[in-house]
Amino acid sequence: MKRIFTTAVVCLLAACGDSEELQNDTLLNATRNEQAVFEAVEGTTVRLEDYLCVTGGTPPYSYASSLQGGFHSTLERTVPSAERTPAEYGIWVCDSEGRQTKKPVVISLRIHPAAEDRTPAFPGAEGGGRYASGGRGGKIYYVTNLLDAYPTPPEGSLRWALTQPGPKIVMFKVSGTIPLVAKLNLRNDGAFAGQGLNVTIAGETAPGDGICLKNWPLSIFYAENVIVRFLRFRLGDEVDTGAGQDACEVQASTGVILDHCSMSWSVDECGSFYRNRNFTLQWCILTESLRLSVHEKGTPHGYGGIWGGRDASFHHNLISRHDSRNPRFDSTISYTETTPIASWRGNVDFRNNVVYGWGGEVAYGGDGGHFNMLNNYYKEGPHSPARNRFLTAYAVAGTATTAFPEVHIDGNRYVTRTGTGLTRIEENNHSGIVWSGAGGEGIPAPPGRVPEFPISGTKRHTTTQSADEAFSSVLESAGAWPRDKVDLRAATDARDGTATGYVAGANPSKTGLIDSPSQIGGYPVYETAEAPVDSDGDGMPDIWERACGLNPADPADGSQYSLSETYTNVEVYLHECAAALLREKRINEK
């Protein structure tokens, strides 16, 4: 896979740069967007319209690189050889009523030569965040207890490990539930500078049944280059946090990948991941958000998540038994001065996910964005309304009309409560989009079919299965391992078309959903086991080092490349831990 430097962005009104004189009598305007330099790697794919800022006229717009060649909804081009740098393109714009700009906007693209293949975060890392290196080469910190305190955490606690400065790999010598006393921040700004940069949290190293966080979320904000694997985030309702909390959240961050994590029992969204660049959520389970709980608004919630960003990937996840936001795709109003649309919003890839047992709405939103929806599996639960769609697309953000999202959609399945596929939308996925408000006064016309959007300049970023294959793979392998009874229930319910787990006397506010963990038996028990001896503290057990020909008395060999040309020795050990969990697939029903 080629190294990608593509920095094309979609520019909205507020982000437009200086205007060129391309205005016609109908106020259709096209300019270069505010980005100073346009760059791409030879052999990758770019969409030339992404370099423009178009205002006025009547959307949707179409584009042409020659007035003799006709206008198209997209101008997708393969970047030529670096020997031809800079490559220049002239682009005309036409609105839906046939009005055209008078002369082309000239885009100059600086081309970089293709680099050697980059090293994935770990074997199996894919999508926009696949090249995060995390704490590679950094210091090892062991979590040795399940304690927490704020602002001064005890040594050996998870919070203590994450507050240490510099690149780091956080490993575990204990399993169990950590009752957080405050939001667990991983940030690289202000007082947190240096803490949320180049970090790996290796939940796969916990001896025994693994790690679960409760009461407060893991909150990754303004962080860079982070890997999180094999952790559980089960918020619950035992602590009044004063505001509706997610189980896990990542925002305003660059280069983050979450793999084989489990999230549940949130008061607001189970997992909110948007305003990020180069992000991946893969092989995770998000289930059983709390519908009528302790949210400060006092209204029903029970939401799956808000998902979006720029070069953001969501693949092979199970989204199960939420009332709505399955997911909600991000909006123009999701972005701020510190995370402007021009540099933080772009292409989003949603593929090979399983969406099961919604209580109200499936996926919706997305105004003004670019989304791929490929080979996902939607399945009604026994309590689910027949939505008969894959997406309700919005063109309104708050009180402002923007534009409908452009959606490349194909290969998705929709299975009803009777177990049959909804042929009408399965054979024509585009008909499974409902354009909310279309035809109403002031609402723009929905866009037509569009080509697949690249992620980080390439379409070869994620191994893709058919929807049926993904359904089986996700139910078999997603989530943190060893698999606890919460994830076991989520996978089993999705497979069997059920909504189980209620204790006697449980009376949820909506059938098939929950309001409190107490309604489905409360927290699992995560027993610990004896951690292997690591005499030199380099993250590798002595017995493993000897078997690999390393020195268990040399604390420096963990960051060396004796066992692999691409991964440090301690990373090789982490990968073996992860592979063992996925090979054994042990179930913890305690």
Instruction: Give 94-124 pLDDT, tens digit per residue.
Output: 998 899 998 889 888 888 766 556 899 999 9
The residue among 298 and 397 whose pLDDT is bigger is 397
CA quadruple 41, 108, 9, 66: dihedral sign: negative
Distance between first and last Cα of the chain:
43
Q: What is the pLDDT of residue 102?
A: 87
Mean per-residue pLDDT of the chain: 91
Region of poorest pLDDT, from 13-27, 331-345, 550-564:
13-27
Query: Kind and range of the H or E element at 577?
Result: helix 569-584
The CATH number of the structural domain formed by 139-520 is 2.160.20.10
pLDDT band per the 50, 70, 90 thresholds, residue 80: confident
Q: What is the pLDDT of residue 13?
A: 29
Residues 568, 561 contacting (CB under 8 angstroms): yes
Residue 242 has pLDDT above 60, yes or no: yes
Residue 214 has pLDDT above 70, yes or no: yes
Over residues 145-172, the pLDDT tens digits come to: 999 999 999 999 999 999 999 999 999 9
Residue 293 has pLDDT above 90, yes or no: no
Residue 174 has pLDDT above 60, yes or no: yes
Q: What is the pLDDT of residue 587?
A: 97
- Please give the average per-residue pLDDT across 391-402, as a whole number: 91
CA distance 524 to 485: 7
CA distance 168 to 145: 18
Query: Kind and range of the H or E element at 570?
Result: helix 569-584
Contacts with 513 (C-beta within 8 Å, 6 or more apart), sequence order: 288, 291, 302, 321, 322, 323, 359, 383
Residue 241 has pLDDT above 70, yes or no: yes
Region of poorest pLDDT, from 380-389, 397-406, 521-530:
397-406
The tokens 């997209």 sit on which residue? 74
Q: What is the pLDDT of residue 356?
A: 98
CA-nearest of 16, 38, 262, 259 to 130 is 259
Task: Give the number of other CB atoms < 10 A from CB of residue 40.
Answer: 25
Over residues 425-483, the pLDDT tens digits come to: 999 999 999 999 998 988 999 999 999 999 988 898 999 999 999 999 999 999 999 99
The residue among 5 and 414 whose pLDDT is bigger is 414
Q: What is the pLDDT of residue 18?
A: 37
Query: Kind and range of the H or E element at 468?
Result: helix 467-477
Over residues 4-46, the pLDDT tens digits come to: 333 333 333 233 333 333 333 468 988 887 654 677 777 778 8
Radius of gyration of the chain (CA): 24
Stretch(es) of the chain classified as CATH 2.60.40: 13-112
CA distance 159 to 172: 12
- Please give the average per-residue pLDDT across 474-493, as a whole number: 98
Over residues 466-476, the pLDDT tens digits come to: 999 999 999 99
Q: What percent of the chain stands above pLDDT 70?
A: 93
- Please give the average per-residue pLDDT across 548-562, as a whole number: 97
Ramachandran class of 277: left when φ > 0, alpha when ψ lies in -120 to 50, beta otherwise: beta
Fold of domain 13-112? Immunoglobulin-like (2.60.40)
Render the burial of 158-171: b for 16+ CB within 10 Å, e for the rest. Answer: bbbbbbeeebbbbb
Alpha-helical segments (H) within 129-286: 158-162
Residues 429, 389 contacting (CB under 8 angstroms): no
CA distance 442 to 438: 9
Alpha-helical segments (H) within 130-210: 158-162
Cα torsion at 354, 359, 362, 367 (round to 10°)?
A: -140
CA distance 498 to 489: 9
CA-nearest of 267, 156, 271 to 220 is 271
